[in-house]
Chains A and B, each alone.
Chain A
Amino acid sequence: MDLKLQNLSHGYQGLTVLGGINLNIRSGEIVCVVGPSGCGKSTLLRLVGGLEAPDQGQVLQVGAPPKGCLNPLTYVFQDFALLPWRTVAGNVGLVLEDHPLSRDEIADRIDHVLERTGLTEFAGALPKQLSGGMKQRVAIARALAVNPAVMLMDEPLSALDSQTRSILLEELTSLWRRERFTSIYVTHNLTEAVQLGHQIVILSRRPGRIREVIRIDTPPNARSRADTELQRIEQDLWSLMQAEARAADAELADV
């Protein structure tokens, strides 16, 4: 299933946050969205998944979602959003319980997805017992359990320390190699964008518009940190964004 964003605009109380976003997300591709803080990256993601209604424009799903898909547009949140009163298996089960699945099918799906994310031995643990990295693995497992068409990832690694972030980034890369998932990946971390994105979309300062789209043809699993070409792209991205990031930083919030 592909996604088509057509002329998407949104504002809060007369303040335009996003202006006229046009974007195509092809099946099996990761689209990284970067931009200075307050440029509407997260708003864009909420619009795409239907957690907010756009003022203008529309989001189109093109084609049928994959077989066995329970929730085509599935989020992975920055702060994990795990229910603290449910175990790891219970948190994954939560999103399956409302679907017409038998008890066995639910248990199978939970087992399978925990195995794929290396969480099998943590099935009975409560979120408070887990490290930040583990919590985000659980959240990713929960997203995979519904077999999504597109994963909407809102700064999924930003709440983690830099070591855990590197490890999870590698895991996401190998996950993509195995499953070829489709994703819109919002981040402020350019390294993540360069390592993961097939397309990197740079948004301008508020009101967020697309400033530039960079394509990287090397598949994510074939990229290395030492690759000078990728380092150059990251440098370019930073020089594109630097001035805007500075200006955004100096802006007074109108709240």
Chain B
Amino acid sequence: MSDAARSPADNAARTVRFRGGGFRPLPRRGIGLVAFIGLIALAEIGTRAGWISALTLPRPSDVAIALGDLYQTGLLWKHLVPSVTRLIVGAAIGASLGIALGIAIGLFSYVRAGLVPVLAALFPIPKIALLPLFVIWFGIDEASKYALIAFGTFTPTVVATYGAVDNVDRTLIRMGQSFDLRWWSIVRKIVLPGAMPGILSGLRISLAIAIILLVAAEMLGAEFGIGAYILEAGALYDLERLFAGVTILSVFGVLVSAAIGWIETRVLAWRV
């Protein structure tokens, strides 16, 4: 093309348009809190203005008052302590058995061949449906609740753990063998830390399930506990107290998630 034939536009310099970026969520501090406050404020304004009826949703400030009452009467601790104990004991049993079995499935051909189908059969069972069975096996007391929570935490932990063990870099294991490390050293120093990211993300799910099962177990038979408190409030159609109980559960969830996040930043600092 000769210069004379070029229109002026051909010579104009244009900046290259940016078209990368996105598809990569970054941490944004405080936005989570804003979302919470925004939703609560919306409910508060709606119930006060009347476009949300008192039967649909209790007023957040009333729920706060119910929570305050619960604290002042001392009932809060009476409900909270047994619930937290059940959650910790049950989840600890379930998660530790789950991690142990998950590692065994990840390492031994026969354990894997034998147990993976069994797990596939156990996983979809709604564990709550088995509570009557657990009551027969372990009695009406705490043991049956621990068992239910443990069982519910166990299955997702096993699945997450053996998946995580499968993803451990085999060249690291061969390296360990080539230096004559003991079998147990390889498991403890190479397999377990290598599987830790997967195990922890599995625990996030397992522990949320543990909270759900905690409430279910307490609804079916407990004098004290957050589940019992919610059941009682629900039976009386006391929406404020019902929501007070639900709020406590949400706080449980947030705390568990924060705890795992904290463990991840400490234990997984080596990740790129």
Do the beta carbons of A51 and B174 come within 8 Å of each other?
yes
**Residues 160-195 of B at the A interface (beta carbon under 8 Å):** 171-172, 174-182, 185, 189-190, 193-194
Q: Please measure, in the bound complex, the distance between the C-alpha atom of A28 and the C-alpha atom of B263, giving whole angstroms.
A: 49
Total number of A residues with any Cβ neighbor in B under 8 Å: 22
B51 at the interface (CB under 8 A from A): no
Q: How far is the CB of B172 from chain A (nearest CB, A)?
A: 6
Do the beta carbons of A128 and B181 come within 8 Å of each other?
no
Do the beta carbons of B193 and A75 come within 8 Å of each other?
no
**Residues 54-79 of A at the B interface (beta carbon under 8 Å):** 70-71, 73-75, 77, 79
Closest chain B residue to A50 by CB distance?
A: B178
Q: Which residues of A contact B179 (CB under 8 A)?
A: 71, 74, 94-95, 146
Q: Digitize A122-146: 1 where CB-to-B-CB distance is under 8 Å, 0 elsewhere.
A: 0000111000000000000000001
Q: Digitize A79-107: 1 where CB-to-B-CB distance is under 8 Å, 0 elsewhere.
A: 10101111000000011011000000000
Q: Please measure, in the bound complex, the distance between the C-alpha atom of A75 and the C-alpha atom of B179, giving whole angstroms.
A: 8
Q: Please measure, in the bound complex, the distance between the C-alpha atom of A51 and the C-alpha atom of B176, giving whole angstroms.
A: 11
Q: Which residues of A contact B178 (CB under 8 A)?
A: 49, 51, 71, 73-75
Total number of B residues with any Cβ neighbor in A under 8 Å: 20
Q: Which residues of A contact B176 (CB under 8 A)?
A: 94
Q: How far is the CB of A148 from chain B (nearest CB, A)?
A: 10
Do the beta carbons of A83 and B193 come within 8 Å of each other?
yes
Do the beta carbons of A98 and B270 come within 8 Å of each other?
no
B6 at the interface (CB under 8 A from A): no
User: Which B residues are closer than 8 A to A by beta carbons?
Assistant: 171-172, 174-182, 185, 189-190, 193-194, 269-272
**28 A-B pairs, CB-CB below 8 angstroms?**
A49-B178, A51-B174, A51-B177, A51-B178, A71-B178, A73-B178, A74-B178, A77-B175, A79-B171, A81-B174, A81-B175, A83-B172, A83-B189, A84-B271, A85-B194, A86-B270, A94-B176, A95-B179, A95-B181, A97-B185, A97-B189, A98-B181, A98-B182, A126-B270, A127-B270, A128-B270, A128-B271, A128-B272
